[in-house]
Structure formats: C-alpha cells, structure tokens
C-alpha cells in the first residue's frame, strides 16, 4: 500500500477525555509529512465539537472526518479555522 499524501493528528479529544489525544491517521500515513498545516474540528449533527487537530500535506479537507470522526464518533461535519466545509 502506498503512503498517503496527507496525515492528521487529534490533539484534543473532547468526548473521551483525552483517550484519542495523539491519534494519527490515515492507516497508511507518512509520519514525515509536515507541510501545509491547517487546524480542524470534528462535530456531530447538533454542532457539538468532538475533537480538534491538525492536518498536513496534500488534502481536500474531509479526510479526518472520513478516516476517523464519522466511524468512531458519528461526526457529520468538519470546520477549518471555525468555518464549515
């Protein structure tokens, strides 16, 4: 499997009181990718924030939601710098 062109890290988990702090993805991440950083936040359909983190590399923006937030927490939305995608 080829390495992904992006990576993300959960820096603050609001749901499980830090259980996922430091979780990185995707499963085929390249840990050396540090370019093009952006802050994101994962939210449920009521707008509750579940986690905050940073994404790096070449991404479209929905990767942390698709890779982790939706399947693990049922998140349905993602914000970058306070703005919905």
**64 falls within a domain:** yes
CA distance 36 to 20: 23
Q: What is the pLDDT of residues 46-73, one digit of tens each?
A: 999 999 999 999 999 999 999 999 999 9
**48 falls within a domain:** yes
Range of the domain at 68: 6-84
**1 falls within a domain:** no
In the prediction, which pLDDT does 41 show?
98
**63 falls within a domain:** yes
List of residues 6+ apart from 53 with CB closer than 8 A: 8, 9, 10, 11, 12, 39, 40, 41, 42, 64
Using 50, 70 and 90 to split pLDDT, how confident is the model at 16? confident
Q: Per the structure block, which two tokens stand in for 3?
A: 């390495």
Number of domains in the chain: 1
**61 falls within a domain:** yes
**21 falls within a domain:** yes
**71 falls within a domain:** yes
Q: What is the pLDDT of residues 17-38, one digit of tens each?
A: 889 999 999 999 999 999 999 9
Using 50, 70 and 90 to split pLDDT, how confident is the model at 7? very high
Residue 81 · residue 64 · CB < 8 Å: no
How much helix, strand and coil, in percent to the nearest 5, is found in the chain?
15, 35, 50
**49 falls within a domain:** yes
């Amino acid at each position: 499997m080829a390495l992904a062109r992006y990576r993300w890290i959960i820096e603050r988990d609001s749901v499980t009181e830090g259980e996922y702090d430091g979780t990185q993805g995707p499963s085929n991440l390249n840990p050396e990718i540090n370019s093009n950083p952006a802050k994101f936040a994962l939210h449920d359909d009521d707008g509750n924030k579940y986690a905050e983190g940073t994404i790096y590399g070449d991404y479209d923006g929905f990767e942390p939601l698709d890779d982790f937030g939706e399947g693990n927490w049922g998140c349905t939305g993602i914000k970058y710098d306070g703005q919905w995608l």
